[in-house]
Every structure is written in C-alpha cells, then in structure tokens.
Amino acid sequence: MEVGGKRMMRRGPGRVYRTVVRSGLSNVYAVAFEGMEMEAKHGDTVLTGRIIDQQLYGILERTNGLGLELLSIEAMPDAVLTGPESKRDPENSEL
C-alpha cells in the first residue's frame, strides 16, 4: 500500500523497526523492501515498517545481498508509522 508517496506495511503482529542504510536508494530497491516506508535522509535511506522477528533476518540478508552498508537497525514504538495503518483507537491502547 502506498500512502503519500511512502510505501507502508499492513498492520498486524510484529514490531516496528527502523533500518538505516548508507546512500539514497532508488525506487528500484523498493521491491526488495516491499511494504516498508522508504525515506531519504541526509544522504542515507531510512526504512521503517512493522515486521515479525523472522522477517528481520530476511531484511538483513537482502541488505547484505544488495551490497548495502547497514548503519543501524532498531525496534521502535508503534507511533513511528505515520500512515493510516498506525492509527489506534486511544480507548483501546495499552499503556
């Protein structure tokens, strides 16, 4: 799904991860990271999306296989996603 020019992952189980790779990635790479939001920032690319832990290994393998330099990867709070998939009913959210 595409929202405001950013590719978004469907809401479901898993955690939100933010992965940063060196250099700006073109839309050609979007296929390799299907369902993740891609954003160019300061000459690097930030990939953000909800993934289950097993998929994390796949993302790391794709990053390596494409010869990309991994700068960081971290688990983020759900609020990081900005698309409609990230909207929650405040009455049903856990603290």
Q: Going from the N-terminus, what domains does the chain have, and what CATH number goes with each?
A: 2-77 (3.30.70.980)
- Cα→Cα distances 74→12, 17, 18, 19, Å: 18, 6, 5, 7
Confidence of residue 39 (pLDDT cuts 50, 70, 90): very high
| Bridge partners, residue 75, by sequence | 17
Q: CB-hemisphere CA count at 13 Å for 67?
A: 0
Per-residue pLDDT tens for 6-38?
444 445 578 999 999 999 888 888 889 988 999
Q: d(Cα 67, Cα 72) in Å, to the nearest integer?
A: 15
